[in-house]
Amino acid sequence: MFPETAQRLKTAAPLFSHTAFLTDLRRLSAHGGARRHLTVGRCLTAKVPPPRNPRERVEIPGLEMVTYGERMHYVPGLAKPATQHWERDYKDPRYYKSPPAHEMLLYKDKPCYMFNQRTSALEGVRQAAWLTKTQVIPGLPAQLLSPAGNPENQIPDQDERVQNAIKHARFWDTTEDRPRKEKYSNTLLLNLLHLCATLQSSHPAVGRRMLAENYSLATTWKRGEDLLQIRGQNGLLLNSMDPLPEVSGKQEVADTADHVLDTFYPVSPTIDLQKVHVYKEEVNHTGFRDDYPYPHAHTLYFLESADPRCKLRPEQFRTKMIMFTFGNALARAHKLYGTRPQRLLDRPVTVQSVGTNGRIFQFMVFQLNTTDLSGDDGIKNQMWLDEDVELYDFAKVRPLIKKKQVKIPAGLAGYKPETFSKFLALYLHGAV
């Protein structure tokens, strides 16, 4: 019998024991010349049906059921003998059934709301702002963008090299007609990062940075009565040895106390967050060990197509960016200042993030001013968000022709140099 038929038979017939089955197989296959090809008259590749709930036994006190157990065969009219529950005295991982949630060791009555990589928040940026007690400021801060005009902070032949990078990602990086979105967005991001890193010769601080991928972040905080956690594997993180300088001064930070957070009654701010009762309390982990030489998170890079199963709309993608940037900042703050809520941090923690889908970029700078997030009043964190910045209009492999006129030519069209200068400005922040 072939091994694959054996495998399917095993799934299709869970009643028969596995070990006996294997011995039979071996006996059959090792029989020398005469192999028996057993056939069964039913489909071997069926879906395993879900386990049926056994009929409920009704116990009537004082009434003893007469079973056919002693007679060793089914007798119509007699009851089915009750089987004792049998537990293996050793632990076999193949037959391990996990206990229900309320019997687990880490079960708690109070639920915890978790935000992970696949969460699609209904209310978008407003919900993230409420959960992280943040004031959203549209547009990037001026002091971040001002060094971009300086020719020292620009790459020689910047426009041409960026356009080559886009063309490489969108046209040249495949043997097929056109590369798929997951591929070209990833290639484009890495090309742009490489271009930025070529400035290491003129900006030595760029060399004190390191890229890291797929590290697990965990942070906990309280918001009102609810416990919130961020967990997940991040995308790409640029770490650095030195922390980022703070973006807004002490006066602006104190002014945020007057800002009122947006609420969205009747929707609760914890909607769409995963509600769990089994969780570890007070987990705060940046994802790296304590002796890692690049402890400070500098910039996070998010790709829309990183998880193929989870497609997020632009608003939800920005929410994810905000929450994970906040998570990194909060984990760092907890490590520096402890987990007790601090009303005002001496040195606010700044983290940046960039999100892209291959053409449209979202830039964000987050400044964590306070870890006292339980109340709605007091000093708030700040966030500068630049949404939907296009790098180029079209990158078509075949031209769009309508009524015999070329509407959009093939190749790269509508390149906007300001977007890359913003990207570079975010990269060079702290290294200029």
Partner 1 sequence: MALSCLTRALRSLTLSQPALLSSQAAARSNLGAQVPSSAVIQWRGFLTTASLEQNRIRWKQREKYTIRPIGMKKTGGRDHTGRIRTHGIGGGHKQRYRWVDFHRLRYEANKEGQPFEEKVVEVRYDPCRSADIALVAGGERKRWIIATENMQAGDIIKTSGVIGRMAVSANEGDAYPLGALPVGTLVNNLEVRPGKGSEYIRAAGTSGVLLRKVNGTAIVQLPSKQQVQVLETCIVTVGRVSNIDHNKRIIGKAGRNRWLGIRPSSGLWQRKGGWAGRKIKPLPPMKVYVNLPSVSTS
| Whole-number Å distance between alpha carbons of 304 and 7 | 38
Nearest to 321 by CA among 133, 128, 114: 128
Sign of the dihedral defined by the CA atoms of residues 220, 221, 226, 228, in that order: negative
Parallel, antiparallel, or unpaired for β 236-240 and 134-138? unpaired
User: Residues 114-153: x/- map of binding to partner 1 (CB under 8 A)?
Assistant: --------x-------------------------------
| Residue nearer to partner 1 on the CB measure, 69 or 207 | 69
What are the tokens at 333? 């703050």
The CB-of-265 to partner 1 minimum distance in angstroms stands at 7
Interface with partner 1, residue 46, by CB under 8 A: yes
Please pick, from the candidates 47, 57, 97, 403, the single residue that binds partner 1 as defined by CB under 8 A.
Answer: 47
- By CB under 8 A, which span of 36-44, 235-243, 312-320, 400-408 interacts with partner 1? 36-44
In a 10 Å sphere around its CB, with 0-12 CB exposed, 13-18 middle and 19+ buried, how is residue 89 labelled? exposed
Interface with partner 1, residue 254, by CB under 8 A: no
- Residues in contact with partner 1, counted by CB under 8 A, come to a total of 37
| Whole-number Å distance between alpha carbons of 303 and 307 | 9
Residue 36 phi/psi, 5° resolution?
Answer: -90, 130
| Residue nearer to partner 1 on the CB measure, 50 or 138 | 50
353 and 423 in contact (C-beta within 8 Å)? no
| Residue nearer to partner 1 on the CB measure, 34 or 142 | 34
Residue 368 phi/psi, 5° resolution?
Answer: -90, 115
The CB-of-355 to partner 1 minimum distance in angstroms stands at 23
334 and 387 in contact (C-beta within 8 Å)? no
| Residue nearer to partner 1 on the CB measure, 81 or 139 | 81
| Residue nearer to partner 1 on the CB measure, 80 or 407 | 80
366 and 318 in contact (C-beta within 8 Å)? no
| Residue nearer to partner 1 on the CB measure, 7 or 143 | 7
Name beta bridge partners: 299: 238, 352
What are the tokens at 10? 């095993």
Write out the binding residues for partner 1, residues 260-299 only, by CB under 8 A. 264-268, 270-271, 275
Q: Identity (one letter) of the amino acid at 380?
A: K
- By CB under 8 A, which span of 70-78, 248-256, 310-318, 338-346 interacts with partner 1? 70-78
The CB-of-23 to partner 1 minimum distance in angstroms stands at 9
Please pick, from the candidates 11, 26, 35, 38, the single residue that binds partner 1 as defined by CB under 8 A.
Answer: 38
Residue 49 DSSP class: P
- By CB under 8 A, which span of 47-55, 93-101, 135-143, 356-364 interacts with partner 1? 47-55
Q: What secondary structure, in 3-state letters, does 282-336 show?
A: CCCECCCCCCCCCCEEEEEEEECCCCCCCCCCHHHHHHHHHHHHHHHHHHHHHHH
Interface with partner 1, residue 50, by CB under 8 A: yes
What are the tokens at 417? 């140099």
Please pick, from the candidates 8, 25, 205, 211, the single residue that binds partner 1 as defined by CB under 8 A.
Answer: 25
The CB-of-102 to partner 1 minimum distance in angstroms stands at 15
Residues found near partner 1 in the complex (CB under 8 A):
1, 6, 9, 12-13, 15-16, 20-21, 24-25, 28, 38, 40, 42, 46-47, 49-50, 52, 69-70, 72-74, 80-81, 83, 122, 264-268, 270-271, 275
